[in-house]
Amino acid sequence: MPINEDDRRLFLKNTLGLDHGYRLGGKLHQPSYYSWLEQLFHSLMQDDTTRRLFQQLADWDRYTYRHSFDVFLLGSLLAHQLAWSNIREVACGLLLHDIGKTAIPRSVLTKQETPTLAEWKLLQTHARHGYDILTTQGYSDTIASMVYSHHERSDGSGYPYGMSASSLKDPIRLLAVVDVYSALSLDRPYLSAVPPHQAVSMIRDEVGPLDPQYVRAFCELLGIFPAGATVQLTNDASAIILDMEEALPTLPLVRDNQTNETFYLPIDQTIQIHQWIDPF
């Protein structure tokens, strides 16, 4: 599908700055990933309703707009890695997951201080508002449920209903992980971003509420793992992540479990991390 110039420019503007510090594992710097994401975004923008709703986010709150696009990128890449067949539908749910925030006062969304309890309760209504907006517009059950339930958690601690793990379908579980990572690693009006390696450590600590299958797959997508993780290297050795430089989180300091040799993964990538092998 040929991409028009307007969509190319919109996609480029939205991606600027999002992969600093390897937030997306460097994927936006790889032409094959960039082109695939650009084409996927263009396909979503072919739907007039989706384009209009996404523009409403931009007009209402720039942080929510930027976060929503970021979640679209992260979640689409993860769905692609997992070879899901319904990526376009899932991508739409990712892009519009916070559309309900257009029903929340700007004064609450842009507040520079931590929200009050009353404001938190008001913010939590965005899931229901989003569901109502999308069902009224005829979006699929998969997309609407992603919007309604992306703050639910596998241990029942989420909202709006405290649903159990058995009620949460895979797109919702995936969205929950990338939504938390994006929120942690982008500046919010009331909270500064943390670097990617710290964000993945915080997500690892949330295993239980967050589905470990998607936490593991997401870290493998980024190539960023928390300190203390046991990984298998591409030379078949197992190693423990000891530390990493903030500027180079994909090239951590590791210790070979068999030889006890300690080394940084090489810049030429002759040795890489193949997978995270810790049990959860």
Return the pLDDT at 26.
92
- The answer to whether residues 94 and 75 touch, using CB atoms and an 8 Å cutoff, is yes
Rg of the chain's alpha carbons, rounded to an integer? Answer: 19
Return the pLDDT at 208.
86
* pTM score over 0.85: yes
Distance CA 33, CA 29 (A): 8
Question: Mean pLDDT of residues grouped by 10 in the chain (280 residues)?
Answer: 91 92 91 97 97 97 97 98 97 98 96 93 97 98 97 92 89 97 94 94 92 96 96 97 94 97 96 92
Paired sense of beta strands 230-233 and 273-276, if any: antiparallel
Return the pLDDT at 236.
95
- The answer to whether residues 175 and 154 touch, using CB atoms and an 8 Å cutoff, is no
Distance CA 90, CA 102 (A): 21
Plot region of 213 (φ>0 → left; ψ -120 to 50 → alpha; else → beta): alpha
CATH number of 5-193: 1.10.3210.10
Return the pLDDT at 56.
97
- Nearest CA to 61 among 147, 175, 188? 188
Return the pLDDT at 190.
87
- The answer to whether residues 57 and 68 touch, using CB atoms and an 8 Å cutoff, is yes
Return the pLDDT at 21.
77
